[in-house]
Chain A
């Protein structure tokens, strides 16, 4: 046990052999677990066949070789380099063996997992009635109600996309109000206007961020509906001028405005104060300096966070189903009501939301990565949130 002086045995797991032997063993185990699971009707490698047995033997053989190598390593800890296992020929053969092992595993995974999945999907799609097994029933419902889900996805994407775009424009106005500070040299009227603008923006952001979007959507929809009602319009007329989609879009836009205004304000604060001072020292007005120097940099700083807001809106638009906007969540609830299968339906919704947000984050990463690429100053490094994966909810 003098070995511990040079290389402690606790390093056993982490030495270089781990790649070929440990990794290969895991692959072999995966392949074997596939081999011993039940084959589907699509399977082309039946268990008792010569080919199937050969694949299993390759996996077992590799497991055996690995076990032997690891035992030799354990026994000859310090002189492992001079053992037979380190001879170039043996090293090369075990490497080729690991490729064979991986190939066998890949074939088995394809046969027992991919083809089985294809079988489940194919039978579920053509099933006469709703199957009982979880995966099958999910496929069955998703396929048979695909038009409802498609409408829901389209609503959700449009709500998030247009909502975020409108909110961005409104947030530019809102942040402009928010950053107004009365100056000693302003006249009383300007001072008053600036204070009112600042207070209004603060109050708006305070209220919107302090209340759930679900409540906001219900208040907005019902309040506007009630207003039209008072003018004596019929319900069908009101539904025409104040459709649910519009109610949802207005809600999501007004809600995001508050968050994006704060995002932009953070972006403005992140611009070095020297930029403003330099612009003012050249005689530019506060507004000119903001528009031409500070805002462009602030928006660039904020791009990743604006992208995050879009992804958040994909998810948070789900609360709009309470007013009846036909988004993905609303449609999922309808499907769940048709089949009385809550868990499976909401699992479908979860998977679709996950795909939507993942695709969006990939897209945004590509877009904002390109736009912020030449800017590698230290100050910006802390500001990139696009690569954090999926953002949390508001």
Chain B
């Protein structure tokens, strides 16, 4: 982890109609850093993540990626998104493609990588996520955990500089959450820059370099996981975490 910022967000605002979702977000992500964003549902975590790769257009503010302001309307979106991998809550594997084709489609059509090379890369990443034996499987036939691991491999095939995870385990049943989190831990150890929106507090505590707590469209508190979880400054953070821990106990 270096001190070089890869993403710098300044005073980001976003509304859906009358609903003010992001109310002036400031956040900096450094290269090699693993940042977990936690907070109650509706606090704007996912919207913030989706603004970073412009799946949502923010209304005001700035997002700098490698020194380039993404709010500038002249930015080449497609070139930008190649460098930002995204993993969705609902997996969103291409239903009409096999596992291998899911992974090779974007490198071949966007980066014009030759087929053989794209397949070799895909197989390498599918090995990383432990799915090398499912290469020719129909992507709809996989379990949720397997789908999410394919989705991670698919994003890795574009060789992104940063990976965004939008509640990657929320749609999985508790028994298979582990297999996805393990893959994410491996990625973190390999030095991948990651922004993870999650409700997995144990994961956030163990893997992240920094935890960001969001509430009602603002970042209320951020810091090392030890501080945020061990000794939260804000009463709202304490309330959220305590309620969360209580729920976990039951």
Q: Identify the closest chain B residue to A376 (Cβ).
A: B140
CB distance from B166 to the nearest CB of A (A): 10
93-137 of chain B: CB within 8 A of chain A:
93-97, 105-106, 109-111
Tell me if B62 counts as interface (CB < 8 A to partner A): no
**Interchain CB contact (< 8 A) of A292 among B95, B109, B138:** B109
Question: Contacts A283-B82, A284-B109, A288-B110 hold; do A278 and B94 have CB atoms under 8 A apart?
Answer: yes
Cβ–Cβ contact B110 & A284, under 8 A: yes
59-105 of chain B: CB within 8 A of chain A:
73, 75, 77-82, 84-86, 88, 90-97, 105
Q: Cβ of B91: which chain A residues have Cβ within 8 Å of it?
A: 274
Cβ–Cβ contact B158 & A277, under 8 A: no
Cα distance A319–B180 when bound, in Å? 61
Question: Contacts A184-B73, A185-B77, A377-B140 hold; do A281 and B96 have CB atoms under 8 A apart?
Answer: no
Q: Which 6 A-B pairs have the closest CB atoms?
A: A283-B82, A282-B106, A278-B92, A274-B92, A281-B86, A283-B81
Q: Cβ of B53: which chain A residues have Cβ within 8 Å of it?
A: 281
Q: Identify the closest chain B residue to A277 (Cβ).
A: B55
Cα distance A374–B98 when bound, in Å? 13
A184, A292, A374, most chain B CB atoms within 10 A: A292
Cβ–Cβ contact A284 & B57, under 8 A: no
**Interchain CB contact (< 8 A) of A285 among B78, B97, B154:** B78
Q: A283-B82, A374-B138 are in contact. List 18 more A-B contacts (CB 8 A).
A: A184-B57, A184-B73, A272-B90, A272-B95, A277-B88, A278-B86, A278-B88, A280-B77, A280-B81, A281-B155, A282-B85, A282-B106, A282-B155, A283-B79, A284-B78, A284-B106, A288-B109, A292-B105
Q: Cβ of B85: which chain A residues have Cβ within 8 Å of it?
A: 281-282
Provide a sorted-by-A list of 17 A–B residue pairs whose CB atoms are within 8 angstroms. Answer: A185-B77, A272-B90, A274-B88, A277-B55, A278-B88, A278-B92, A278-B93, A279-B106, A281-B53, A281-B85, A282-B82, A282-B154, A284-B78, A284-B106, A292-B105, A293-B97, A375-B140
Tell me if A296 counts as interface (CB < 8 A to partner B): yes
CB distance from B44 to the nearest CB of A (A): 18
List chain A positions with a Cβ less than 8 A from chain B.
184-185, 272, 274-275, 277-285, 288, 292-293, 296-297, 300, 374-375, 377
Q: Cβ of A281: which chain B residues have Cβ within 8 Å of it?
A: 53, 55, 81, 84-86, 88, 155
**Interchain CB contact (< 8 A) of B96 among A184, A278, A297:** A297
A285, A288, A293, most chain B CB atoms within 10 A: A293
CB distance from A376 to the nearest CB of B (A): 9
Q: Cβ of A277: which chain B residues have Cβ within 8 Å of it?
A: 55, 88, 92
Q: Cβ of B106: which chain A residues have Cβ within 8 Å of it?
A: 279, 282-284
Cα distance A281–B156 when bound, in Å? 12
CB distance from B68 to the nearest CB of A (A): 14
Cβ–Cβ contact B158 & A283, under 8 A: yes
Q: Cβ of A292: which chain B residues have Cβ within 8 Å of it?
A: 105, 109
Cβ–Cβ contact A279 & B57, under 8 A: no
Q: Cβ of B88: which chain A residues have Cβ within 8 Å of it?
A: 274, 277-278, 281
Cα distance A297–B96 when bound, in Å? 6
Cα distance A272–B84 when bound, in Å? 22
Classify chain B's interface size.
20 to 34
Cβ–Cβ contact B96 & A300, under 8 A: yes
Cα distance A6–B73 when bound, in Å? 78
Cβ–Cβ contact A293 & B73, under 8 A: no
Q: Cβ of A274: which chain B residues have Cβ within 8 Å of it?
A: 88, 90-92
What sequence of 0s and 1s flags, for each residue 7-38 of chain B, a beta carbon within 8 Å of any chain A beta carbon? 00000000000000000000000000000000
Cβ–Cβ contact A272 & B92, under 8 A: yes
Q: Identify the closest chain A residue to B102 (Cβ).
A: A278
Q: Cβ of A288: which chain B residues have Cβ within 8 Å of it?
A: 109-110
145-192 of chain B: CB within 8 A of chain A:
151, 154-155, 158
CB distance from B139 to the nearest CB of A (A): 11
Cα distance A106–B78 when bound, in Å? 72
Cα distance A273–B82 when bound, in Å? 20
Cα distance A293–B106 when bound, in Å? 11
Cα distance A292–B155 when bound, in Å? 17
Q: Cβ of B151: which chain A residues have Cβ within 8 Å of it?
A: 278
35-65 of chain B: CB within 8 A of chain A:
53, 55, 57
CB distance from A91 to the nearest CB of B (A): 49
CB distance from B85 to the nearest CB of A (A): 8
Q: Cβ of B158: which chain A residues have Cβ within 8 Å of it?
A: 282-283
CB distance from B27 to the nearest CB of A (A): 20
Cα distance A229–B140 when bound, in Å? 59
A278, A282, A296, most chain B CB atoms within 10 A: A282
Q: Cβ of B77: which chain A residues have Cβ within 8 Å of it?
A: 185, 280
Cα distance A292–B108 when bound, in Å? 12
Q: Cβ of A283: which chain B residues have Cβ within 8 Å of it?
A: 78-82, 106, 110-111, 158
Cβ–Cβ contact B154 & A293, under 8 A: no
Q: Cβ of B140: which chain A residues have Cβ within 8 Å of it?
A: 375, 377
A274, A278, A296, most chain B CB atoms within 10 A: A278
Q: Cβ of A377: which chain B residues have Cβ within 8 Å of it?
A: 95, 140
Cα distance A375–B139 when bound, in Å? 11
Q: Cβ of B55: which chain A residues have Cβ within 8 Å of it?
A: 277, 280-281
CB distance from A269 to the nearest CB of B (A): 15
Cα distance A378–B1 when bound, in Å? 44
Q: Identify the closest chain A residue to B95 (Cβ).
A: A297
A280, A281, A292, A374, most chain B CB atoms within 10 A: A281
Q: Identify the closest chain A residue to B74 (Cβ).
A: A185
